[in-house]
Structures are given as C-alpha cells and as structure tokens.
Amino acid sequence: MSGPDRNQLEEGEELHLDFQKLRKVAMASAPVLPVAVQDAETGEVLILAYANEEAVRYTLEHGVAAFWSTSRDELWVKGATSGDTLQIIEVRVNCEQNSLLYLVKPLGKGACHTRTRDGRTRTGCYYRRVANGALEFVDEAMR
C-alpha cells in the first residue's frame, strides 16, 4: 500500500499525519533539537525545523536562520538558494533547554517551500487546519 504523494500531502485536504519523520530525524548523523520559527512582527508560526550545534552557532554568528537538513544531512541556511532568508531578531530557549524559538523577520517572499495555485510562496507552513477529520485551508487566499 503506497502512501499519499507529495502533492496530496502538501495541497490536499486529507489528513495523513506522518509520525515516522521524527524517528528519521533522530537517526540523522548529527544530534538535533526542534526549532519553532515565528515571525517577530506578525506572530505567525512559520515553520518547525531542526538544528544541530553547528546550525545554532551559524544562526547566532550570522544572524540568519540556519538548520540541519536531516534529509540531506548538511547545514541548511534557509534562503541560501531560494532567497527566502529569515533574519534573526532573537533566539529563545525553553525551560529545559531542549528546543529553540527563532523570532525572525522574513527577507524574502515566504518561509514555506510550497506555493499557492497562482504561484505565490506561502508565508508559512501552517496554512491548513484540521476540521472534522479532514483539512481545510485557513485562508482561501493561501490555497
């Protein structure tokens, strides 16, 4: 039985939560912690990604959001190829120091890698809500 394809996952209205990703993340070569990324001005939670020690150091030194790409197993400076850089306003740490919150100012077109039907980069990744066991777009303009 094959699962949903990428387009169904990203643009569909069916809920297919992937509970396996985190195990793959934890198996990456570098130990990482989760990072929630929030637009410092609008408050929108944009993305959730993972950072290892090198990525945290890069982020603090260069003032741009960097993560560890657990699929490519390499430093991922957000926007390095797309131009959608996230300027760091503040890096916060939780009580137990096992997760981070990057407060950012998006310098590009958005923070998500997906695009709307008419080709606009979505500002963030949380553009759908769960409703009655399915997904619906939070905002029709983000469809």
When the beta carbons of 21 and 80 are compared against a second copy, the nearer one is 21
| First-to-final CA distance of the chain | 28
Nearest distance, CB of residue 85 and a second copy, angstroms: 19
100-106 and 33-39 beta bridge pairing: parallel
CA distances from 116 to 8, 12, 55, 113 (A): 14, 12, 29, 10
Closest approach of Cβ 113 to a second copy, in Å? Answer: 7
| Residues of this chain that bind a second copy (CB under 8 A) | 9-10, 15-23, 25-27, 31-34, 36, 38, 43, 45, 47-48, 50, 52-53, 56, 60, 90-101, 112-114, 122, 125-130, 133, 135, 138
For the CB of residue 12, give the shortest distance to a second copy in the complex, in Å.
9
Backbone angles phi, psi at 51, to 5 degrees: -130, 140
CA-to-CA distance for 106 and 123, rounded, in angstroms? 9
